[in-house]
């Protein structure tokens, strides 16, 4: 199980599939791989639509899983803020 940035991702094991080399085996061996791929795509699309639907609701308690677009970024202040050189400071 992996939890990137607080999201939970559950990985389930399935049997190992091999991509067929012989042309006559393509239909029987490749179809299960396509089915698994489409199932994964459907799960991802459903998850995205649920998250977007929850974010569009404006009433109720704030959501724990809100995706926020960054409005920009702020650079931290530099450590040496002054513009005077060391020689100028010593002369004062």
pLDDT tens for the 92 residues of the chain, in order: 455 566 666 677 778 888 888 888 888 888 888 888 898 899 889 888 888 887 777 555 555 555 565 666 565 655 555 555 656 555 65
45 occurs within a structural domain: yes
Task: Identify the residue whose tokens are 């795509």.
Answer: 41
**Domains contained in the chain, number:** 1
Q: How far apart are CA 32 and CA 52, in angstroms?
A: 30
In this predicted structure, what is the pLDDT of residue 87?
A: 60
49 occurs within a structural domain: yes
12 occurs within a structural domain: no
In this predicted structure, what is the pLDDT of residue 49?
A: 87
In this predicted structure, what is the pLDDT of residue 90?
A: 59
32 occurs within a structural domain: yes
53 occurs within a structural domain: yes
Helix/strand number for the chain, H first, E second: 2, 0
In this predicted structure, what is the pLDDT of residue 6?
A: 64
35 occurs within a structural domain: yes
52 occurs within a structural domain: yes
80 occurs within a structural domain: no
């Amino acid at each position: 199980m992996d939890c990137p940035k607080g999201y939970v991702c559950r990985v389930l094991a399935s049997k190992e599939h091999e991509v067929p080399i012989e042309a006559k085996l393509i239909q029987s061996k490749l179809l299960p791989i396509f089915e698994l791929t489409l199932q994964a795509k459907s799960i991802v699309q459903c998850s995205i639509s649920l998250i977007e639907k929850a974010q569009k609701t404006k009433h109720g308690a704030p959501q724990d899983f809100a995706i926020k677009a960054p409005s920009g970024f702020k650079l931290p202040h530099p450590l040496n803020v002054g513009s005077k050189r060391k020689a100028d400071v010593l002369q004062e």
